[in-house]
Amino acid sequence: MPSASDCTPDTPNWHERERDALSTAARMGHNAATFPRRGPYRTVFGEPLVIIYEYPLNERVRTLLRLEDLYARVDHFLGLDDPNDHHAALTGIFEILEVASRADLKSDLLQELDRQRTFLDALRSNPAISEDKLNQVLGDIETAFSNLHALSGKTGQSLRENEWLMAIKQRAGIPGGTSEFDLPSYHYWLQQPPEARRGHLAEWMKPIKPVHAALSIVLRVLRESGRTVSLMAYQGVFQQTPADKPAQMLRLVLANDIPCVPEISANKYALNIRFLLPEVVQKSRVYDRDVAFDLIFCNL
């Protein structure tokens, strides 16, 4: 746990973390699917007022964000009925297998879950903390930890041993490679009733669900760790020297009625943000007006 001397203006110290733990514990009690990954802070008649752009500052967070997007895509297409939707869901599963094959992913997730469990367990004596909420959060972490720890071999090892799936995976990497004349058995499967296909897809998701549950908790904690700073990019350009303790992820909040998108580059020496016009035909140009935005520095 960071000491007061480790903290920067963008990193809450121990007392601030303890003060905010009740709010964090309450939010973490929600199902991961209801937590706003990139959703709006506020809405008007259901329409978002802001767009949130997330930028990872290390390879571990980059991998987790990619996996989160892939799991969300699979969940979306899994709920639909068209054969093309279920083809997209299956190719999403294949992509998860590729991204999750990183050797240290499981150990990283287990280590972070254990760290959060230790931190939250130390709050039991705090009268400001709801014991019910705290127990719920600790239960979620314990379940995610146990299920992930129980996995053996590579993520989705049983899927990798399924010759039929691996034949489709190999052909899916070739443009147009899953045509019916290339994979007649796959074409047959796609013509089965949606309920049958969905049942197979749900079964194939089971071996990789523990990773999803674990990374959802880790990313939730990471996002909630952030401190927000309101900033201005003059003529579409912003530069800053990072604080002593570098963040692991940036979240940039921009009003959705500003016609520009951020281009972020960052390392331990400098943070550079350019706001560009969202061109879809030619190379993007700098949006040469002042841009007000919020920047959230997230760190576990």
pLDDT of 92-151, one tens digit each? 999 999 999 887 899 999 999 999 999 888 888 888 888 888 999 999 999 999 999 999
pTM, whole model, 2 decimals? 0.82
Residues 197-204: what's their mean pLDDT?
A: 98
Mean pLDDT estimate for the chain: 86
219: enclosing H helix or E strand: helix 209-224
Q: What is the CATH number of domain 4-36+59-220?
A: 1.10.3900.10
For the chain, domain boundaries? 4-36+59-220, 50-55+226-298
DSSP character at residue 297:
E
d(CA 96, CA 299): 25
CATH number of 50-55+226-298: 3.40.50.12160, 1.20.1250.20, 3.40.50.2000, 2.60.440.10?
2.60.440.10
Question: Could you report the per-residue pLDDT of 22-80, keeping only the tens digit for each?
Answer: 444 444 433 333 233 444 455 555 556 999 999 999 999 999 999 999 999 999 999 99
CA distance 279 to 261: 10
Q: Which of 215, 31, 217, 202 is nearest to 106 (CA)?
A: 215
Torsion of CA 220, 61, 142, 117, to 10 degrees: -80
- Contact between residue 284 and residue 274 where contact means Cβ atoms under 8 Å apart: no
Sheet with 227-233, strands from edge to edge, namely 50-56, 249-255, 291-298, 227-233
* Mean pLDDT, residues 278-290 taken together: 90
Which amino acid type is present at position 21?
A
The answer for residues whose C-beta is within 8 angstroms of residue 267's C-beta and 6 or more apart is: none
